[in-house]
Amino acid sequence: MGRFHRHDDGTWHDHDHDGGGRDLGDLSAYATGTERVSVLERIFDENDRAAVVNREAFDAAGVQAVNLMSSPGAGKTTLLARTLRTLRDSGVRAGVVEGDIETSIDADRLAGLGAQISLLNTGDGFGGECHLDAPMVARALTRLDLDALDLVLVENVGNLVCPAEFDVGAHRRVMVSSITEGEDKPLKYPVMFRSIELVLINKIDLLPYLDFDLDLFRGNVAQVNPAARMLDISARTGEGLAGWYRWLTEPITAR
């Protein structure tokens, strides 16, 4: 599943080879015309069907699910660690699907914070995929007791391309973009920035040390996704996180 996937430039990519991936260009070496289209449609159909099943499982258990995406190192796990503590203190029962190609480093960092954690290593039987797909998340959900949860946070594999293209069955998508990554990323990765409803602009504590132009970045986000909400945060200091907790728990407290 999820072996071929679509890139922003319309080419396709094969990731069934020791995690490295192989560029297939327009796939003309494999198939042509309607045959090619049907292969790709089948892959996305299969993912989308599994995503619907995941969402139904969340809904049946009254769980709100959020897909958290970013490039590697933007601060997803740091943010999650802080978030899990706050959720625990406010009585929100949280679970995490922790997606990484290899290692349990992040899952270990999130242990002991009151949340159920289900680790998914895509290098472990999933071909080293650069993203989570819905069937993988379905597998991870078998290790969570959804009936005992209010919220599931999915930490996707760090990547600004692949995760945007796979619906994992979450209700909402959010990305962390740190100011060390530069202002141009919304323009370079528009599919990702278009796929989300909230951008957490992270590492704002580093602003005095960088030449990052916050207004330029915000303008670039708005250019590719005018509806996107943005929040300046520091997962390190906790600055700006009140807005994040409000966004995260709104659907739960509104019930």
Q: Note whether 130 binds ligand GDP by CB under 6 A.
A: no
Residue 203's binding partner among ligand GDP, Mg ion, none (Cβ under 5 to 8 angstroms by kind) is ligand GDP
Q: Note whether 95 binds ligand GDP by CB under 6 A.
A: no
Tell me how far, at minimum, the Cβ of 109 lies from Mg ion, in Å.
8
- Residue 96 CA to residue 152 CA, distance in Å, equals 6
Q: Note whether 78 binds Mg ion by CB under 5 A.
A: no
Q: Which residue stretch of 118-126, 182-190, 203-211, 244-252 sits at the interface with ligand GDP (rule: CB under 6 A)?
A: 203-211
Q: Note whether 77 binds Mg ion by CB under 5 A.
A: yes
DSSP string, the chain: ---EEE-TTS-EEE--STTT-EE-TTSTTT--HHHHHHHHHHHHHHHHHHHHHHHHHHHHTT-EEEEEE-STTSSHHHHHHHHHHHHHHTT--EEEEEEESS-SHHHHHTTTSS-EEEEEETTTTSTT-SS--HHHHHHHHTTS-GGG-SEEEEE--S-SSGGGG---S-SEEEEEEEGGG-TTHHHHSHHHHHH-SEEEEE-GGGGGGS---HHHHHHHHHHH-TT-EEEE--TTT-TTHHHHHHHHHHHHHT-
Tell me how far, at minimum, the Cβ of 76 lies from ligand GDP, in Å.
3
Q: Note whether 76 binds Mg ion by CB under 5 A.
A: yes
Q: From the list 14, 46, 48, 205, which residue makes contact with ligand GDP (rule: CB under 6 A)?
A: 205
Instruction: Kindly identify the residues of this chain, within the stretch 156-185, that bind ligand GDP according to CB under 6 A.
Output: 158
- Residue 196 CA to residue 131 CA, distance in Å, equals 15
Residue 29 contacts by C-beta under 8 Å, 6 or more apart in sequence?
Answer: none
Q: Note whether 106 binds Mg ion by CB under 5 A.
A: yes
Q: Which residue stretch of 74-82, 138-146, 210-218, 220-228 sits at the interface with ligand GDP (rule: CB under 6 A)?
A: 74-82
Q: Note whether 43 binds ligand GDP by CB under 6 A.
A: no
Closest-CB residue for ligand GDP? 75
Q: Note whether 71 binds Mg ion by CB under 5 A.
A: no
Q: Note whether 123 binds ligand GDP by CB under 6 A.
A: no
Residues that bind ligand GDP (rule: CB under 6 A) add up to a total of 16
Q: Note whether 70 binds ligand GDP by CB under 6 A.
A: yes
Interacting residue ranges for ligand GDP, rule: CB under 6 A: 70, 72-78, 158, 202-203, 205-206, 234-236
